[in-house]
Chains A and B, each alone.
Chain A
Amino acid sequence: MKTIVRIPCVTTTSISNMAACAELPAGGFVFENCQRNKFLESQGYKVPKAYKTGTTICGLVYKDGIVLGADTRATEDTIVADKNCAKIHYISSNIYCCGAGTAADTEMTTQLISSELELHRLNTGRQPRVCTANRLLKQMLFRYHGYIGAALVLGGVDSTGPHLYSIWPHGSTDKLPFVTMGSGSLAAMATFEDRYKADLSRDEAMKLVRDAICAGIFNDLGSGSNVDLCVITKDKVDYIRPYEEANKKGVRQGKYRYDRGTTVVISSEVKKVELEVIDTEVRAVPMET
């Protein structure tokens, strides 16, 4: 049982005490740098772009549950920052969420709602419902009026059956049998509109989602690399990462290893690391006579 030590917030004039009180994170956003950052912007310095997930994400409802799919590219403007990022986030054991938009926002928002949902589950004693996750997400995103750039595809199977929602950064949601989001959503939606029908089998559904994501990967510049799938049914979840390596890395043709000693070193310092003793065991051995 861990005990949380809290530094008492004593109102003395001691600067170190006040600094300690000011530092402990209280939860929620902190806006202390905003004035400085606005000033820097007014001086003409461009604000750096955060990682966007570009993305093609989609989901559909099939006979036994939900299939969610996502590509795996994260971009920083036009540079591919991450060639294999995971865009299908865990919300609860029966609910998963794909995220498009600003990568940090999708990551943090899904983690936050996952925690809230877990607390809710402990409170109610029941398996969480997809509509609850949807409600929590949309209420949070609306509160920030679109400034949290998270466009999500939420899917899961609960006691009332399989449910699929798409959630937009401003907080509106759509409950549909098939949805796509992200910069490659048009390519994926074209595939879905062509071939979707109700009550697909598991293999047909997986193939359709794979084809939709591949349409995004090969036609949209913001999406690329592999296809990740998540198949959710009443009894289990199959998180298949990667489902298909749509783009394999080439094999290097030459050897580019440098000989040892190529780099000129001015000075070198070796610091031995003290290995921590975790456990000491003394075993007494009887003497032989």
Chain B
Amino acid sequence: MSILAYNGAAIIAMKGKDCVAIAADRRFGVQAQTVSMDFDKVFEMGPHLFVGLPGLATDVQTISQRLKFRLNLYELRENRRIKPQTFMSMVSNLLYERRFGPYFVEPVIAGLDSKTNQPYIASMDLIGCPMITDDFVVSGTCSEQMYGMCESLWEPDLSPDDLFETISQALMNAFDRDALSGWGGVVYIIEKDKVTKKLLKTRMD
């Protein structure tokens, strides 16, 4: 079994029209046993910037704390909010530093540029290779199922409400075909003036 499959996770981020959405499952398990159904894998790094961290749960928590630390220092030094592209470089740097003893997370970043409000999504492998796309990014134990769902459901320029439906259905149908992820879902829809957090009713098996 892969180390990334020890705890199990499913995260998707999608671009819409002037908005982005990031969705994650809520299971925390130790191999076959589910321990909790309200484990956060999406962390807020700024009012318009979210990072999803699937993978080994201990590294998820360590990385989110280390990232927040670096981000705080950055914002104090620069006296402004970080841009999503710069944040992506920061995450990539944190992971590549540990190239020969990596953290077992494959992050997903979703955000809006604070000045131009351009949507931005990116994902990375466990040693920090960035992948920036214009449609969607997925990461987790059911990534193959999520790729399939997203390729079928995503279309460009979805409004926030339609984007919510699309990302939720893609996530739920994907993690329903994976034993290690699921047990609830959370979706953040990030728009220019507000962030909406919705908890989904899903199969709890």
Contacts and interface: CB of A to CB of B under 8 A. Distances in A.
A80 B152 CA distance: 16
Q: Bin chain A's interface residue count.
A: 35 or more
A273 B117 CA distance: 13
Contacts of A263: 164-165, 168-169, 172, 200
A276 interface: yes
Contact of A48 (B104, B130, B197): B104
Given A45-B1, A46-B1, A264-B201, A108 B196 contact: no
Interface in A244-258: 252, 256-258
B76 interface: yes
Interface in B63-84: 66, 69-70, 73, 76-78, 81
A23 B98 contact: no
Contacts of B92: 104, 108
B126 A48 contact: yes
Given A103-B129, A271-B194, A271-B195, A79 B47 contact: no
Given A85-B131, A273-B194, A274-B47, A108 B96 contact: yes
A1 B53 CA distance: 35
Given A34-B101, A274-B47, A44 B126 contact: no
A28 B1 CA distance: 31
A114 to B, nearest CB: 14
A229 to B, nearest CB: 21
Contacts of B195: 270-271, 273
B127 interface: yes
Contact of A47 (B3, B161, B194): B3
Most chain A beta-carbon neighbours within 10 Å: one of B1, B66, B127, B192 = B127
B169 A258 contact: yes
A40 interface: yes
Interface in A267-286: 267-276
Contact of A268 (B66, B70, B197): B197
B104 to A, nearest CB: 7
A15 interface: no
Interface residues of B, number: 62
Interface string A24-58: 11001111111111001000111110110000000
A48 B56 CA distance: 11
Most chain A beta-carbon neighbours within 10 Å: one of B92, B114, B129 = B129
Interface string B104-131: 1010000000100000000001111111
A107 B103 CA distance: 18
Contacts of B168: 263
Contact of A30 (B2, B98, B169, B199): B98
Contact of B131 (A48, A74, A256): A74
B99 interface: yes
B82 to A, nearest CB: 13
A265 B199 contact: yes
B127 A50 contact: yes
B81 A266 contact: no
Interface in B153-205: 153, 155, 161-162, 164-166, 168-169, 172, 192-201
Interface of B: 1-4, 6, 47-48, 66, 69-70, 73, 76-78, 81, 92-104, 106, 114, 125-131, 133, 143-144, 147, 152-153, 155, 161-162, 164-166, 168-169, 172, 192-201
List 10 tightest A-B contacts by C-beta distance, closest first. Answer: A34-B101, A104-B129, A33-B101, A264-B201, A103-B129, A263-B168, A258-B165, A104-B127, A45-B3, A266-B199
10 contacts: A25-B97, A36-B101, A46-B3, A47-B3, A74-B131, A82-B131, A103-B125, A108-B99, A258-B153, A264-B200
Interface of A: 2, 4-5, 23-25, 28-37, 40, 44-48, 50-51, 74, 76, 79, 81-82, 84-85, 102-105, 107-108, 147-148, 252, 256-260, 262-276
